[in-house]
Amino acid sequence: GAVVSQHPSWVICKSGTSVKIECRSLDFQATTMFWYRQFPKQSLMLMATSNEGSKATYEQGVEKDKFLINHASLTLSTLTVTSAHPEDSSFYICSARAEETQYFGPGTRLLVL
Amino acid sequence: DAKTTQPPSMDCAEGRAANLPCNHSTISGNEYVYWYRQIHSQGPQYIIHGLKNNETNEMASLIITEDRKSSTLILPHATLRDTAVYYCIVDKQGGKLIFGQGTELSVKP
């Protein structure tokens, strides 16, 4: 199957700082990528749909000014958590669409102190 | 998007077949059935998908009922490494995947 990578795999930051997470499709081009968040013992929650060359579409309740998404190329989407706070600590997972199937990255664990 | 219903948990003996059911009674004609699994602390892994015909790949088989209101994922010879949460999702091809709670499968020696 297609391979999606994320960087970093984990990050610890101080409250109030911003954190950028990268999502790359390694062996295919993806016009559409997705960002999910997962809290402990819960399922994945879709945050936003990232479209190459256009603005992201955010799900209801997700603050677009807090979670900045940029999809500048067909293989890279970035999620920036701005002014992170402890409640933003979570497992962030991206996926990229290859034809009719979505493939997921390994996830990025964010801990905000 | 159609909603799916899965049992919260299942056990399976190592080496035996694991049959994971999924109900999707409100599925639309153009919606596919996708199966993913998530091993602890990892991103979801694609397993298989289908529209109305049964499908098989190197990982699993997908059996979809004729009325398409339910399906079963079959892992033919479960191993300890198959312990994971299995998600059944219905969606249009190319749509956004909405995850439910899934089935936590425990494969026991």
pLDDT at A79 exceeding the cut of 70: yes
- Cβ contact B2:B88 at 8 Å: no
Average pLDDT, rounded, for chain B? 94
Interface test mutation site (partner B, options A4, A34, A91, A104, max chain B beta carbons within 10 A): A104
Say how many CB pairs under 8 Å bridge A and B: 50
d(CA B1, CA B33): 11
Look at A99 and B24; give whichever has higher pLDDT.
B24
Q: pLDDT of B74-106, one tens digit each?
A: 999 999 999 999 999 999 877 889 999 999 999
Picking from B43, B93, B94, the nearest residue to A104 by CB comes out as B43
Tell me, what's the pLDDT at A81?
Answer: 97
Contact B97 A101 (CB under 8 A): no
Strand partners, B62: B55, B73
Provide CB contacts within 8 A for B74, sequence distance 6+.
B17, B18, B19, B20, B60, B61, B62, B63
Distance CA B14, CA B107 (A): 6
- Mark B39-65 as b/e (b = at least 16 C-beta within 10 Å): eeeebbebbbbbeeeebeeebbbbbbe
**Cβ atoms of residues B51 and B42 within 8 Å:** no
Compute the distance between CA of residue A30 and CA of residue A52 in angstroms, rounded to an integer. 8
Q: Name the burial class of residue A28, with classes exposed (0-12), middle (13-18) and buried (19+) by CB atoms within 10 angstroms of its CB.
A: middle
Q: What percent of chain B has pLDDT over 70?
A: 98
For residue B42, give the nearest of A49, A95, A106 by CB distance. A106
Which pLDDT does position A99 carry in this prediction? 82
Q: What are phi and psi of B81, to 5 degrees?
A: -70, -10
Across B57-75, average pLDDT:
97
Check residue B33 and give its pLDDT: 95
Contact residues on chain B for A93, CB-CB shorter than 8 A: 43-44
| A108 touches B: beta carbon within 8 Å | no
CB-based contact (8 Å) between A93 and chain B? Answer: yes
Cis peptide before A8 (omega within 30 of 0): yes
Q: What is the mean pLDDT of residues B13-38?
A: 96
Closest Cα in chain B, distance from residue A25 (Å): 14
Does the distance separating the beta carbons of B102 and A100 come in below 8 Å?
Answer: no
Higher-pLDDT residue of B84, A52? B84
Residues of A in contact with B32 (CB under 8 A): 100
Q: Do residue A100 and residue B101 have CB atoms under 8 angstroms apart?
A: no
Whole-number pLDDT of residue A54: 87
Residue B52 DSSP one-character state: S
Binning pLDDT at 50, 70 and 90, where does residue B23 land? very high
